[in-house]
Amino acid sequence: MRLADKVAIITGAASGMGAATARRFGKEGAKVVIADMLEEEGRAVADDINKAGGKAVFMVLNVTDEAGWKTVVDETVKTFGKLDILVNNAGISGSATNDLLDSALWDRVMAVNSTGVFLGTAAAVRQMQSNGGGSIVNLSSISGIVGQTMVHMSYNAAKGAVRIMTKSTAVQFGKDKIRCNSIHPGLMPPMRTSGATADPVVRAKMLKAVPLGRNGEVDEVANAILFLASDEASYITGAELYVDGGYLAM
């Protein structure tokens, strides 16, 4: 198994790509902490993993809450003995409002999608330093590389921050054997908070920019996260991996 004996925290794992990643990690032998604000859905994902023979627990976490992060990391170590992997996946959409100049959305998106990743990284790095190393995988997006007409610029700014924070983490904590890489999904199933980008007409237009001619599946992102999280990627750090059907190659 590709993650035998590894302990992983995955944020936003009650839904979408985080849930797919948690299930995949469970099958590959990891002990998984599902960290999310959605209790019912998060517990259901943990139950599924346990029923399938894996090991998972749910913990409530709002990624913008620094004290909450400390509790989750401490509880993870109490429950499973250590922390090897953090997947900073929780996020909210940049199309939650149609007003591209809405300042309230700026604050919300930056808090969850950018500050949340910093707080998670800080909490995990402190633990991983005493643990002899670890692997952090950050969910950025194609929106962290290019601007888009239908997406609030807070989403581009936050995902761009995640891209470069990934490189800061890699260069600052490589000495502690901590690796950090970013994943950049393209057109995927809509997020829970998606507005315009969930509209079939808008999605059909967006599809025209995808060389593979289809949207991606959550398991295709989970596969990429699994690789970067695992020891198979032991000499890869500070890298960005596009899972976008070729969108950024056009």
Instruction: Report the interface residues with ligand NAD, using CB under 6 A.
Output: 11-12, 14-18, 36-38, 61-64, 89-92, 112, 116, 139, 141, 185, 188-189, 191-193
Active-site residue set: 155
Q: How many CB atoms lie within 10 A of CB 144?
A: 23
- Cα(56)–Cα(39) distance, integer angstroms: 14
Compute the Cα dihedral for 107, 112, 116, 117 and give only its sign.
negative
**Shortest Cβ distance from residue 132 to ligand NAD (Å)?**
28
Alpha carbon distance 84, 31 (integer Å): 10
Instruction: Work out how close the CB of 99 gets to ligand NAD at its nearest, in angstroms, rounded to a whole number.
Output: 19
Helical (H) or strand (E) element with 72:
helix 66-80
Nearest 5°: phi and psi at 235? -115, 20
Q: How far is the CB of 171 from ligand NAD (least distance, A)?
A: 23
